[in-house]
């Protein structure tokens, strides 16, 4: 019964996350709810003892990683470094390979240490402009950014500085470069299958006559000095 309650608490947390609610608020609620249903007398000890101690330990270990990653990402954004990377990738691959350019740029930024959440806001304006010029449906931008920032550079590519790779290494007492060949194989698999899927969806949209779109929301305001090379 305790296993079912724990799974139900996880399901509640996942539902709250997908509905857009704060995980920071719902995580302790789901955990304490599970404890309440299994052993009501252990709610207070579990909160003050287990939960608070583990939370403080987590913050102590990984807050510098979050903080410095956010600061570095903001520095990348303000300095125009992300724009320079996009421009350089376009010069090599061209605007016709817009999806591949965005995937590679996101991969370079996240593998370089920029927080994957920061990468989304830094790359999105340029991705929107490239997709508009290439007449690629805007609805494919989230999948394109996710492939470059949220997949192989997050937890597969050896040595990635993302927290999804750093945190497990402390628990398993390994380095960030553990199992390099397995990581490389996983990287190639995820990258190739992801690009095949994106290209398939792009070709499908072109056959259906679907362009960038007209009824759009949250369109970025492109800077007047943004000139993407062709």
> Can you tell me the mean pLDDT for 106-126?
81
The confidence score (pLDDT) of residue 197 equals: 95
The DSSP secondary structure of 169-213, one letter per residue, reads HHHHT--TTSSHHHHHHHHHHHHHHHHHHHHHHHHHHHHTT--S-
Element (H, E) at 49: none
12 in Cβ contact with 26 (< 8 Å): yes
The better pLDDT of the pair 137, 45 is held by 137
Rounded to 10 deg, the angle between the 116-134 and 52-79 helix axes is 40
Whether pTM exceeds 0.75: no
Cα–Cα distance for residue pair 66/12, rounded to 1 Å? 26
Q: What is the largest CA-CA distance in the chain?
A: 67
Question: Which pair of structure tokens corresponds to residue 57?
Answer: 């330990």
Could you identify the residue written with the tokens 């509640």?
12
The DSSP secondary structure of 79-118, one letter per residue, reads HTHHHHHHHHHHHHH-GGGHHHHHHHHHHHHHHTT--HHH
Q: Where are the domains of the chain?
A: 79-207
Q: Which of 15-29, 80-94, 118-132, 212-226 is predicted with the least confidence, judged by mean pLDDT? A: 212-226
Cα–Cα distance for residue pair 99/9, rounded to 1 Å? 38
Nearest in space to 127 (alpha carbons), one of 85, 169, 65, 168:
85
- In percent, the amount of the chain with pLDDT more than 70 equals 84
Angle CA 47–49–54, to nearest 5: 90
Query: 22 pLDDT exceeds 90?
Result: no
Question: Which pair of structure tokens corresponds to residue 89?
Answer: 């990738």
Average pLDDT over all residues of the chain? 81
> Can you tell me the mean pLDDT for 154-182?
85
């Amino acid at each position: 019964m305790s296993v079912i309650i724990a799974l139900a608490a996880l399901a509640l947390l996942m539902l709250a996350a997908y509905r857009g609610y704060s995980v920071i608020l719902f995580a302790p609620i789901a955990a304490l709810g599970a404890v309440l249903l299994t052993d009501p007398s252990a709610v207070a000890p579990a909160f003050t003892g287990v939960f608070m101690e583990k939370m403080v330990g987590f913050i102590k270990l990984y807050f510098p990683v979050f903080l410095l990653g956010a600061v570095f990402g903001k520095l990348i954004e303000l300095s125009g470094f992300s724009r320079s990377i996009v421009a350089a990738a376009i010069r090599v691959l061209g605007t016709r390979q817009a999806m591949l350019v965005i995937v590679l740029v996101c991969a370079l930024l996240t593998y370089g240490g920029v927080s994957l959440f920061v990468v989304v806001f830094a790359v999105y304006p340029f991705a929107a402009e490239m997709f508009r010029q290439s007449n690629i449906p805007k609805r494919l931008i989230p999948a394109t950014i996710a492939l470059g920032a949220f997949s192989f550079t997050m937890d597969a590519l050896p040595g990635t500085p993302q927290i999804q790779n750093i945190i497990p290494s402390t628990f398993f007492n390994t380095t960030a470069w553990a199992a390099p060949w397995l990581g490389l194989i996983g990287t190639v698999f995820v990258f190739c299958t992801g690009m095949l899927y994106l290209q398939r969806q792009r070709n499908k949209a072109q056959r259906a006559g679907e362009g960038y779109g007209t009824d759009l929301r949250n369109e970025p305001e492109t800077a007047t000095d943004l000139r993407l090379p062709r």
